[in-house]
Structure 1
C-alpha cells in the first residue's frame, strides 16, 4: 500500500492522505436497509415506527417481518451471556430469578429488542442468554448491586457479544 504525503503550504507539517478503513460489522440479525414504516413483527407484535422498534398498537397497513430480537431467538444467536456462579446463587435462586425478571420487564418496556432468550441450569451455574449485550450488562449490574460479589465483563469485538460472569 502506498501512502501519499503532501506538505501543507501553511505549515511545514506533512498531511497524510491515506486513511484507515473500518471493518464491516457483521451481524446477521441486523436489517440490511431501512424498513418501510410501519412494519410489525409477526412473532412478538413490536412495531417499527419513526426509525425504531416500539410497543404500540399494530397498524392495519403494516408490513410484516421478524424483528431482530425474534430473529436472534429463532437462530439461537444470543447477543449476551450472563453466568451466575457460586453457592450463594444456589441458596437464593428464587430471589435472583425474580430480580432478573424485573430487570428484563423494565428494559423490554422501553426497548423491545432487549429480551431474555433462555435461562439454563448447568450443574451449579445458571446461564442466561439475552438478545442484546445491554440487557446482559443491566442484569449483571442489578445482581451485583443487590448481592455484591464479583462481576466480570468480557467483550468480543468480532461478534458483538458480551459475556458477564457474576460469582459469590
Structure 2
C-alpha cells in the first residue's frame, strides 16, 4: 500500500520567527489549561473541557479566581464603549440603559467570561466597560440596530483594550 505524504511542514518544523503567533496576549487568560472541575471562588463559574461555564458540578477539585472576576477586582476592562452625549441619548437614556443590561445578561448566560463591569455616566455621555470584547461588539450591534447612529471600533495592537465610540447622528430628538 502506498502512502501519500503531505510535504507541508508542521509548526514544530517551522522556524520560531515563522510560527503563527496569537493576535494579542491576554494576561488575564491562563497560559495553560486549568484542570476541569475548577471553580471560581468569586462568581461560581466552573472550568470544564476548556471553557468557563455556568453549571453546577459536584466534582469541584479546586478553586481560583476566573479571568472575568480578576478583571473586575483589578478594574482592568477588556473593552470600553463611549456613548457620546447628545440630545438623543439624554432623551432615550432609560431605553439605552435597558438595552445595555439586556444584552449583557444574554451574553453572560452563554459565556461566563463576558460581563458588564460598569456604566459610568459622565458629563459628555456614558462610559461602558466590559470584561470581554464579544460583549462590546454585541452591545454595539444592538445599539445600531435599535437606535441607529454611528459606531466606530478601534483595537490597537499591544494595547490589550478594545475601544468603541457610539454617537447618534441626530443631536435633537
Q: What is the RMSD computed on CA atoms of the aligned residues?
A: 2.0
Q: Which has the larger radius of gyration?
A: 1
Shift of 1:18: 8.7
Q: Secondary structure at the match of 1:33?
A: coil
Partner residue in 2 for 1:109: 109
Report Cα offsets for 1:94-151 as digits up to 9, x if no partner: 0000011110111001000000111001113100000011111110110111011111
Q: How many residues align?
A: 153
Could you list the runs of 4 or more consecutive aligned residues of structure 1 that deviate by over 3 angstroms after TM superposition? 17-26
Partner residue in 2 for 1:144: 144
Q: Secondary structure at the match of 2:34?
A: coil
Partner residue in 2 for 1:127: 127
Contact 2:83-2:167 within 8 A present in 1 as well: yes
Partner residue in 2 for 1:29: 28
Contact 2:38-2:64 within 8 A present in 1 as well: yes
Shift of 1:161: 1.8
Greater mean deviation of Cα atoms: 88-97 or 20-29: 20-29
Q: Tell me the distance in 1 between the aligned counterparts of 2:26 and 2:111.
A: 19
Mark the CA change 1:55 to 1:98 in structure 2 (over 3 Å): closer, same or farther.
same
Q: Tell me the distance in 2 between the aligned counterparts of 1:55 and 1:61.
A: 13
Partner residue in 2 for 1:9: none
Partner residue in 2 for 1:8: none
Partner residue in 1 for 2:7: none
Residue 71 (structure 2) pairs with residue 69 (structure 1): no
TM-score (structure 2 length as normaliser):
0.81
Q: Secondary structure at the match of 1:129?
A: strand
